[in-house]
């Protein structure tokens, strides 16, 4: 070995005899690919990137004494890398040694890493608190992926590689719904990016902050229509609160700052388009990573004193006020409940607000609307004033327009959006609830409604118990499944629900005792359940996560069971297998159409889960429910309980 060779770092890349005479193959040393050749008894190795346009020489062939690149057929000598006469490009050769235990390549010591624009943007997003990225690495995002790999190795973020980008977007949306903070989604250009769109609409419509990062073809070829090129700026314009393309001379950290500022403040999607070559440019001289310092205001915004005064006057005159809370109030329930206790007022929730008050609280009246309980609708109709916090008055919820109403929200557009309300109050929910409490009359004469709440619950629980007994011998009823799930679910679990009859049934029959509930609200997208559970697991790995899915919804992202296994996600999937898109069948019947094309051909979901490496349990009888759910929920890692369900008893 020469002095020069001794200074190299040597990597064993193949066994002796691995590569027959006259062949070439790709080998890896220090995470770098090389083309290893065996020609006329001699071994040689070259940088795997063809000098022409980077084609993979190791996937080429040796033909008539030349190493031929598979992309455009450029030839190089198999041991020297020299081109045929008349050509100038040489394959870049590295040192090779054949030793007793194998074939080695020698590399110069790795140069110090030169920070890239991607490193700068990743550091910025980490500074903003983005800790999880859901996505798929590929053709047009590898430079940014490398920066994330380095950040992950330093313990700054966690990357979760999903099977379909749609699942990434739902996971990030659910992450934000649970925490209020953004996670990132990451895709290639073209098909990877377009696969995100449905989940991003879910985030955008439910006011959930998400950072979307999409690769793009090189800026040099953008426009004419390169491989996997689509006009991402136009494609994401409607679904993002803000979107920008990162170019060579951009202020890279500042664009990441703005994407995250918009995600936080607009509570929607901040989007960056990352042309391929821009991702690996060296950081410009003097450029520094961004931070949220001084970029986000204090959200504790108080309403005007006049508005509080008018609202308090309405409350002081009322005798039977009722409080309605939506998803927007989820982080300020302590203050809302203090107000409810003082007013002896029932607390009703929207479906998206389910679980924000425990159902065994003496003032809890369940949820309103199509998935609701008769307790909630009774209490709303008996009220003489509604005080609504963080709800948007969707038709699904059906908050009564005919009742005098105080509506509190931080977003002026949400106040009185669909019809006028008696007193729209612009302010942060917790701050406003405290001010209303402080403004109440000492001698307010609010009726204690706890007795009525208890009476209505007793009636409803009797009815639920009757429905639990229903059994036509064609599967388990929704009432009995969700009664068992209520008994078996830990108080601190997160429950991600899908869309369909399973969801309505969950809303009606499951009773919350501290769990957080996540759903696709305004978009109402089937398929949300399992990807959302993955997002919840990332956000709160210490909590048990349960995905409640229909067979239609789970079918859309069934391959993600393997993702849950790969990352050992502590998720229990409960799938109602009734062999049809039951909600659509009901809608066809309700609108007097024939039931058509709603039947499903399902796999045995429990066996499928086992094939993927999860625990799978199949339940065909009501009597098996508790034991199956208890076992699945106690299991550490992914599990699936398939419940054969009666489509008529949902």
The contact set with ligand FES (CB under 6 A) reads: 50, 52-55, 69, 71-74
Phi, psi of 639 (to 5 degrees): -140, 160
Report residue 192 as tokens: 């990877």
Q: Which is nearer to ligand FES, 50 or 523 (by Cβ)? A: 50
Min separation Cβ 89 and ligand FES, Å? 9
Q: Which is nearer to ligand FES, 10 or 71 (CB)?
A: 71
Q: Of 60 and 430, which has the nearer Cβ to ligand FES? A: 60
Closer residue to ligand FES, CB minimum distance, 11 or 71: 71
The Cα–Cα gap between 389 and 383 comes to 16
CB of 90 to ligand FES, least distance (A): 13
Query: Closer to ligand FES at the Cβ: 38 or 68?
Result: 68
Neighbours of 154 (CB within 10 A): 9
* Nearest distance, CB of residue 23 and ligand FES, angstroms: 18
Shortest distance, position 230 Cβ to ligand FES, whole Å: 25
CB neighbourhood size of 60 (10 A) = 26
Residue closer to ligand FES by CB (options 58, 355) is: 58
List, in order, residues 6 or more apart from 467 with CB less than 8 Å away: 477, 479, 480, 509, 649
Task: Give me the least distance between CB of 251 and ligand FES, in Å please.
Answer: 34
Q: Of 57 and 133, which CB lies nearer to ligand FES in the complex structure? A: 57
The nearest distance, CB 75 to ligand FES, in angstroms, is: 9
Least distance from C-beta 139 to ligand FES, angstroms? 15
**Of 244, 247, 253, 250, the residue nearest 272 (C-alpha):** 244
Dihedral of the alpha carbons of 429, 434, 435, 436, in degrees to the nearest 10: 90
Q: 217 near 179, Cβ under 8 Å?
A: no
Residue 58 or 424 having the CB closest to ligand FES: 58
Least distance in Å: CB of 217 to ligand FES? 17
Q: Which residue number, 69 or 347, has a Cβ lying nearer to ligand FES? A: 69
Q: Give the length of the chain.
A: 650
* Smallest separation (angstroms) from ligand FES to the CB of 47: 12
Helix 117-127 to helix 252-266 angle (10° resolution) is 30
Q: How far is the CB of 78 from ligand FES (least distance, A)?
A: 15
Residue among 323, 327, 348, 353 at smallest CA distance from 338:
323
SS3 labels along 57-112: HHHCEEECCEEECCCCCCEECCCCCCCCCCCCCCCCEEEEEEECCEEEEEECCCCC
Report the alpha-carbon distance of residue 562 to residue 489 in Å, rounded.
24
What minimum distance in Å lies between the beta carbon of 81 and ligand FES? 13
Task: Tell how far CA 127 is from the center of its chain.
Answer: 20
**Phi, psi dihedrals of residue 11, rounded to the nearest 5°:** -130, 130
CB atoms within 10 A of CB 229: 17
Alpha-carbon span 234 to 214, nearest angstrom: 13
For the CB of residue 84, give the shortest distance to ligand FES in the complex, in Å: 13
* 55 versus 369: smaller Cβ distance to ligand FES: 55
* Residue partners of 110: CB distance under 8 A and separation at least 6: 9, 30
> Mind giving me the DSSP string for 574-589?
EEEE-SB-HHHHHHHH
Q: Which residue lies nearer to ligand FES by CB, 53 or 304?
A: 53
Q: Which is nearer to ligand FES, 71 or 159 (CB)?
A: 71
Residue 52 or residue 99: which is nearer to ligand FES going by CB?
Answer: 52
The three-state DSSP-derived secondary structure of 478-529 is HHHHHHHHHHHCCCCCEEEECCCHHHHHHHHHCCCCCCEEECCCCCCCCCCH
Nearer to ligand FES, 46 or 128 (CB): 46
In the complex with ligand FES, the residue whose CB is nearer, 22 or 70, is 70
Residue 201 makes CB contacts below 8 A (sequence gap 6+) with: 239, 523, 525
Q: What span, in angstroms and rounded, lies between the C-alpha atoms of 22 and 67?
A: 9
Q: Are 172 and 535 in contact (CB under 8 A)?
A: yes
- CB 55, min distance to ligand FES, A: 3
Based on its alpha-carbon atoms, the radius of gyration of the chain, rounded to whole angstroms, reads: 30
What is the spatial distance between Cα 608 and Cα 560, in angstroms, rounded to a whole number?
12
Q: Which two tokens stand for residue 484?
A: 């068992």
Our CB check for ligand FES shows the closer of 50 and 145 to be 50
Q: How far is the CB of 64 from ligand FES (least distance, A)?
A: 16
DSSP result, 313-364: HHHHH-SSEEEEE-GGGTT-HHHHHHHHHHHT--EEE-STTTTSS-TTSTTE
Minimum distance from residue 43 beta carbon to ligand FES (Å): 21
Among candidate residues 47, 162, 20, the one with its CA nearest the CA of residue 107 = 47
Whether residue 617 contacts residue 639, with contact meaning beta carbons closer than 8 Å, is answered with yes
Distance of closest approach, residue 69 Cβ to ligand FES, in angstroms: 3
Nearer to ligand FES, 56 or 439 (CB): 56
Query: Is residue 74 within 8 Å of residue 50, measured between CB atoms?
Result: yes
Least distance (Å) between residue 50 CB and ligand FES: 3
Which residues lie closer than 8 Å to 510 by C-beta, 6 or more apart? 482, 485, 486, 495
């Amino acid at each position: 070995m020469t002095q020069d060779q001794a200074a190299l770092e040597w990597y064993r890349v193949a066994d002796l005899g691995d590569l027959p005479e006259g062949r070439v193959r790709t080998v890896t040393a220090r995470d770098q690919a090389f083309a290893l050749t065996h020609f006329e008894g001699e071994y040689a190795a070259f940088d795997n990137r063809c000098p022409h346009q980077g084609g993979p020489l190791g996937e080429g062939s040796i033909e008539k004494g030349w190493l031929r690149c598979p992309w455009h057929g450029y030839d190089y000598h198999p041991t020297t890398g020299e081109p045929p006469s008349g050509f100038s490009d040489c394959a870049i050769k590295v040192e090779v040694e054949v030793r007793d235990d194998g074939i080695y390549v020698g590399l110069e010591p790795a140069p110090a890493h030169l920070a890239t624009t991607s490193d700068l943007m990743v550091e910025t997003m980490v500074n903003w608190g983005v800790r999880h990225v859901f996505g798929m690495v590929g053709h047009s995002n590898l430079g940014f992926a490398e920066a994330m790999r380095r950040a992950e190795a330093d313990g700054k973020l966690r990357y979760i590689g999903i099977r379909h980008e749609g699942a990434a977007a739902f996971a990030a949306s659910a992450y934000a719904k649970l925490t209020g903070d953004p996670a990132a989604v990451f895709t290639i250009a073209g098909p990877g990016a377009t696969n995100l769109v449905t989940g991003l609409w879910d985030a955008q419509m439910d006011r959930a902050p998400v950072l979307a990062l999409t690769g793009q073809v090189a800026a040099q070829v953008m426009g004419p229509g390169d491989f996997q090129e689509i006009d991402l700026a136009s494609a994401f314009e409607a679904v993002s609160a803000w979107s920008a393309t990162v170019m060579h001379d951009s202020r890279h950290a500042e664009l990441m700052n703005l994407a995250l500022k918009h995600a936080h403040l607009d509570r929607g999607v901040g989007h960056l388009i990352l042309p391929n070559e821009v991702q690996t440019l060296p950081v410009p001289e003097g450029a520094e990573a961004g931070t949220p310092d001084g970029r986000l205001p204090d959200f504790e915004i108080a309403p005007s004193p006049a508005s509080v005064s008018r609202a308090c006057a309405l409350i002081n005159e009322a005798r039977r006020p009722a409080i309605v809370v939506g998803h927007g109030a989820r982080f300020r329930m302590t203050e809302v409940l203090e107000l409810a206790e003082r007013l002896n007022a029932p607390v009703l929730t929207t479906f998206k607000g389910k679980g924000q008050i425990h159902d065994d609280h003496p003032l809890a009246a369940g949820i309103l609307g199509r998935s609701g309980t008769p307790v909630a609708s009774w209490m709303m109709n008996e009220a003489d004033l509604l005080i609504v916090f963080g709800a948007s008055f969707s038709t699904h919820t059906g908050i009564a327009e005919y009742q005098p109403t105080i509506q509190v929200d931080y977003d002026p557009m949400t106040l009185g959006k669909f019809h006028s309300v008696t007193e729209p109050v612009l302010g942060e929910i917790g701050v406003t609830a405290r001010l209303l409490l402080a403004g109440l009359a000492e001698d307010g004469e609010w009726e204690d409604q706890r007795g009525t709440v208890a009476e209505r619950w007793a009636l409803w629980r009797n009815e639920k118990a009757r429905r639990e007994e229903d059994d036509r011998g064609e599967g388990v009823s929704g009432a009995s499944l969700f009664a068992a799930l209520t008994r078996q679910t830990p108080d601190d679990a997160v429950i991600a629900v899908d869309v369909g009859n399973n969801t309505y049934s969950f809303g009606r029959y499951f009773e919350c005792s501290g769990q957080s509930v996540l759903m696709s609200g305004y978009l109402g997208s089937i398929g949300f359940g399992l990807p959302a559970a993955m997002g919840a697991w990332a956000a709160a790995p210490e909590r048990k996560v349960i995905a409640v899915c229909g067979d239609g919804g789970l079918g859309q992202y069934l391959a993600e069971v393997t993702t849950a296994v790969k990352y050992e996600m502590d998720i229990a999937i409960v799938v109602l297998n009734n062999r049809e898109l039951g909600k659509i069948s009901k809608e066809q019947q309700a609108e007097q159409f024939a039931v058509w094309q709603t039947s499903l051909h399902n796999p045995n979901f429990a066996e499928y889960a086992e094939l993927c490496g999860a625990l799978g349990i199949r339940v065909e009888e009501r009597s098996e429910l508790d034991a199956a759910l208890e076992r699945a929920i106690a299991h550490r890692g992914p599990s699936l309980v398939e419940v054969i369900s009666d489509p008529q008893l949902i």
